[in-house]
A and B are shown apart, each in its own frame.
Chain A
């Protein structure tokens, strides 16, 4: 868990790995700022969408305008929807061959280590810059098994029936203000279909990159795991640092059909001026399992509560999340589990770290419907405060309407102990090294559930966040 010397040297490099940008002069399309019906229709027209999708978008837009800004969580009042650019197309999209990708896109992905990762340990990869997926590829052996991993736009073109059947069914167009916004303006994201009884033993990865300033990225992902199938999907998100704010508002829908297993891992490290307002939800049917593994680093404000509806018997849901709230950041994150059917099980494990003026909020819901007999659930939230200025809050809502339920709930708030620091520093570690080590130990239950490559990167990101935290 502690870095090797090689990783250490990498650590000593700066955050600049993510903080690079390309100018947008060569972009093929850049919309004017602001949002109205014409903007939405134009997005749909450019994408040559079927009429039902255009209509669906417009329903989303209407709902977005009608819904007030949510006031129950983080402060969102500074978002100026009129100042945002809702669609930007950097270049020709959806290249399958790396050689056809424009050079600045190649450079972007090279810097983020994507081609290397693809060669080494991925079954397929997609890379999105601003509104569009630029590069997309699935290894042949997996394609031959019938696995579909496309950009959402391409998915709609190639599989209109399945998309129409499932799109917007897990998260309705009017679910919340930001899901409505995404419904109206969505572009990019992934469409994944895993056929019956097919197990994908390597992860699929999507990479979302915001390049432009004052931009809104609204990717839309739909994952359908057919009966008895198994898939692990990873997403990584980054952006350069600008002085003005950008908006990232994704919608992710997962349909886990009977007996399937879906793991969805997010490693996001947004620049500190991004509003990250994401709706993620899964439906788990008979004996299906859904795992959300969610890492929230960076951003100005994050509001994200991955949800699992356990709809039929034997379904299992698990959410494991980590949030790191650094200076000026508010991570309002958590999980929702809804036990609709009997004999379903769930666990929520949430870890948060607050540093400087950072604020981490755990907001969760555990709901058990009447007659959902013999359910088991455990919720555990641990918060760690690094210093006196940092803040943490917990809002664990539990609604149980079935007396038979077995539910445990545990919440802890910890500070780094003076004696722990003394012990570690007495062995030769500096106070900063000791603090970082304690933080890495605190998130270890999370780290160990990540694939190795991601665990290394995750620890590196935590170390970067911890830099300069002492003295």
Chain B
């Protein structure tokens, strides 16, 4: 009915990532297609956040080996904004505070930068406002958010909702959600998970959620689950793997790696 829709794929091949010459990610491979939901799970210190920063192009993270591809094209060496313009998005675990910069102004500027890259007309202040109002309602965010300064004085829960709000407005092809579930109470967790589900389905967003808790997976139903230990994916599977992890925890996998 729509003819052929281009589906974006993020592919990571044999990736090694170091910070200050300490190797954190050690030969990791993963493929996320638009519309799929992947959960990358693992204990603290397994290199999950390092992986997410490396994918988005943080200058402090050095790629020692391997490749990151979007639709078979390497994005290594490109800046974070170029990656964003190729449809990548990272929801931060600890988003930076930018004093004096109004939330809605920032987000409209970001949206229009991405639209400009697609040769689309900028969204007017009025249209943006409508869009913003609709999305904050979905996320149960207060109206006053628009005029607050970006991430300044946000509570832990507000930060997480705010990141998903940005996701819902910027509508990337592939979203990496770094510990989006931490610091949320039960109700907030449910709302955030519902919105991720909705966006994945309605906007056909590929999601890679990174977490060390299983609880968000009760609300978010991943198509694929990967277990990451010590910089590598040690096991991949379907929903069943998540259930298994909920019962047993990571201890079996951690032992396995240590035994090696």
Contact = CB atoms under 8 A, between A and B. Distances in A.
B102 interface: yes
B109 A4 contact: no
Interface of B: 53, 56-60, 79-81, 83-85, 89-90, 92, 95-102, 105-114, 117, 122, 124-125, 149-150, 166, 170
Given A427-B106, A427-B113, 10 more contacts: A2-B105, A418-B59, A425-B84, A426-B80, A426-B92, A427-B84, A429-B113, A431-B81, A441-B100, A442-B99
Contacts of A30: none
25 contacts: A1-B102, A1-B105, A5-B122, A418-B59, A419-B96, A420-B96, A422-B96, A423-B92, A424-B98, A426-B80, A427-B81, A427-B110, A428-B84, A428-B110, A428-B114, A428-B170, A429-B110, A430-B79, A433-B109, A440-B101, A441-B98, A441-B99, A441-B150, A442-B100, A444-B100
A422 B52 CA distance: 13
Contacts of B89: 426
A420 B95 CA distance: 8
A61 B190 CA distance: 78
A312 B92 CA distance: 54
B81 to A, nearest CB: 4
Contacts of A445: 100
Contact of B58 (A420, A422, A429): A422
Contact of A2 (B60, B102, B114): B102
Given A425-B81, A429-B81, A433-B113, A444 B122 contact: no
A83 B204 CA distance: 71
Interface in A408-447: 417-420, 422-431, 433, 437-438, 440-445
A420 B98 contact: yes
A433 B149 CA distance: 17
Given A418-B60, A429-B109, A423 B83 contact: no
Interface in A442-467: 442-445
Contacts of B95: 423
A430 B84 CA distance: 10
Nearest to B115: A428
A430 B113 contact: yes
Interface of A: 1-2, 4-5, 417-420, 422-431, 433, 437-438, 440-445
Nearest to B94: A419
A426 B106 contact: no
Q: 8 tightest CB-CB pairs across the interface, nearest first?
A: A441-B100, A444-B100, A441-B101, A2-B105, A427-B110, A425-B80, A428-B84, A428-B113
Given A422-B80, A430-B113, A433-B109, A438 B98 contact: yes
Contact of A437 (B106, B125, B166): B106
Contacts of A443: 100
User: Which of B85, B98, B112: most chain A CB closer than 10 A?
Assistant: B98
Nearest to B149: A441
Contacts of A430: 79, 81, 113
Contacts of A422: 53, 56, 58-59, 80, 96
Contacts of A433: 109, 113
Contacts of B98: 420, 423-424, 437-438, 441
Most buried by B among A425, A430, A445: A425
A182 B189 CA distance: 68
A430 B85 CA distance: 10
A210 to B, nearest CB: 32
Contacts of A429: 81, 109-110, 113
Contacts of B80: 422, 425-426
Which of A427, A433, A443 has the most chain B CB within a 10 Å cutoff?
A: A427
Contacts of A4: 125
Contacts of B57: 426
Contacts of A419: 96
A2 B111 CA distance: 13
B99 A437 contact: no
Contact of A426 (B60, B83, B107): B83
Nearest to B60: A418
B84 A426 contact: yes
Contacts of B84: 425-428
Given A428-B114, A442-B99, A2 B83 contact: no
A427 B100 CA distance: 18
B18 to A, nearest CB: 17
A424 B110 CA distance: 8
B79 A431 contact: yes
A440 B100 contact: yes
B166 A427 contact: yes
Nearest to A414: B99
A425 B60 contact: no
Contact of A423 (B60, B79, B96, B108): B96
